[in-house]
Amino acid sequence: MAQWSRSLPATMEANDMLPRVLCTLPLPEPFGSLVSPHAEIVTLGAILPEEELAAAVGDIRPAVLVPQLRDAATAQVIEAGLPELHGVATYAVGFNNVDRKVLRDHGLVLANTPDVLTAATADCALALMLAVARRVVEGDRIMREDSFAGWAPDYLLGMELNSAVLGIVGFGRIGQAVARRAQAFGMSIIYVPHHAGAECPQDLKECCREVTLQECYTTADVLSLHAPLTAETRHLINGEVLRSMKRNAILVNTARGPLVDEDALATALEEGWIWGAGLDVFEDEPHAHPRLRTAMNAVLLPHVGSATGATRSRMAEVCARNVLAILEGTPPPHPVVLD
Ligand code: DGY
């Protein structure tokens, strides 16, 4: 097991007076400076298998557990922290890795870090759209290999985003931010809301049209996924859906890997059912499906949607404020509804 690191206020020795906050990985500032005056921060420094994480929680007995998206915050892990554990403040907006039922059953709180990573993740979706449409990675490779034979009218032709139809599945904060960016590229936008009856924001009403999932799949030139991972959305994009998409379509996923059946996507890319794919997330992270790794019409990124220094610091601040509220027994600023 990893050597834990402990952080206490300068004037204090390790003791049982301060509540403990257990972080699996070290978090950027201002997490430490906000939390350490009020709690002892114990950092595991590694992503542990479920059994070992449960053992660490049982040993450290934190008041707040701070996992990130790779941690399995399962019933076993959460129950190992009882009765001291008051809540989980995840360093992520997504919380599919946290057992919400067990939190609710024990009256514990869950908080996440929404909003602050919206712009970075939307930028990443646009970067993938452009990279696939204009074959940026292929072009880069050609130049590095010094195999560019010179400009020609039919050389390395891509697809234009201007006038293309962007289909957004999941029209929450990030989906809407993607729509705002896509407007500037001259795309026409259709969307499927995650919740039936969800309101379209005023500034997007004129340019975005709500459609059914089926219409979104068959009409989009670029299909961008922004839905949470749930039992209902797992493998939302399967072989049948991929076959129903346009042959010139691009699939972009910056949400969660298991939204897409990667095996079916690899076949779709190999057999030309769609034009290409831009993926920041994968079913079996940190690995991409072997046949996606060899697909030249796929651009693959290592889950960097929120990876800017400024965004990660803002996430650290939001996470710290959630932790402090849970420690105080007040509602965290960003609670997750445990339905
Ligand atoms: C999140 O916070 O859920 C994102 O996937 C991190 O990039």
| pLDDT tens digits along 177-204 | 999 999 999 999 999 998 888 899 999 9
Buried b / exposed e over 67-99, threshold 16 CB at 10 Å, is bbbebbbbebbbbbbeeebbbbbbbbbbbbbbb
Q: Is the predicted pLDDT of residue 136 greater than 60, yes or no? A: yes
Task: Please give the pLDDT value at position 212.
Answer: 97
Q: What is the mean pLDDT of residues 144-160?
A: 98
| pLDDT tens digits along 243-293 | 999 999 999 999 999 999 999 999 999 999 999 999 999 999 999 999 999
CA of 275 to the centre of ligand 1 (A): 27
Residues near 57 by beta carbon (within 8 Å), at least 6 away in sequence: 22, 65, 77, 78, 80, 81, 85
Reported confidence tier of residue 13, pLDDT bands at 50, 70, 90: low
- CATH 3.40.50.720 boundaries in the chain: 5-116+310-328, 118-300
Report the predicted TM-score, pTM, of the whole model to 2 decimal places. Answer: 0.94
| Ligand 1 pocket mutation pick from 71, 226, 256, 306 by most atoms within 8 angstroms of CB | 306
Q: Which atom of ligand 1 is nearest to the CA of 306?
A: 7
Task: Please give the pLDDT value at position 2.
Answer: 47
| Ligand 1 pocket mutation pick from 121, 254, 279, 336 by most atoms within 8 angstroms of CB | 121
Q: What is the mean pLDDT of residues 64-85?
A: 98
CA of 92 to the centre of ligand 1 (A): 5
Q: Is the predicted pLDDT of residue 16 greater than 80, yes or no? A: no
Q: CB within 6 Å of ligand 1 — which residues?
A: 69, 92-94, 117, 305-306
Cα distance between residue 110 and residue 335, in whole Å: 6
CA of 235 to the centre of ligand 1 (A): 19
Task: Please give the pLDDT value at position 11.
Answer: 52
Pairing between β-strand 276-279 and β-strand 208-210 as defined by DSSP bridges = unpaired
State phi, psi for 106 to the nearest 5 degrees: -100, 5
Q: What is the mean pLDDT of residues 6-29?
A: 78
| pLDDT tens digits along 292-330 | 999 999 999 999 999 999 999 999 999 999 999 999 999
Task: Please give the pLDDT value at position 1.
Answer: 44
> Across all residues in the chain, what is the average pLDDT?
95
| pLDDT tens digits along 218-232 | 999 999 999 999 999
Q: Is the predicted pLDDT of residue 5 greater than 90, yes or no? A: no
Architecture per CATH, domain 5-116+310-328, reads as: 3-Layer(aba) Sandwich (3.40)
* Residues classed as catalytic: 256, 285, 303
Task: Please give the pLDDT value at position 197.
Answer: 82
CATH number of 118-300: 3.40.50.720
Task: Please give the pLDDT value at position 7.
Answer: 67
Place of tokens 């897409």: 260
Is pLDDT larger for residue 10 or for residue 209?
A: 209
From residue 245, give the alpha-carbon distance in Å to each of 134, 167, 230, 236, 250: 20, 11, 23, 13, 9
Beta carbons within 10 angstroms of residue 284's beta carbon: 10
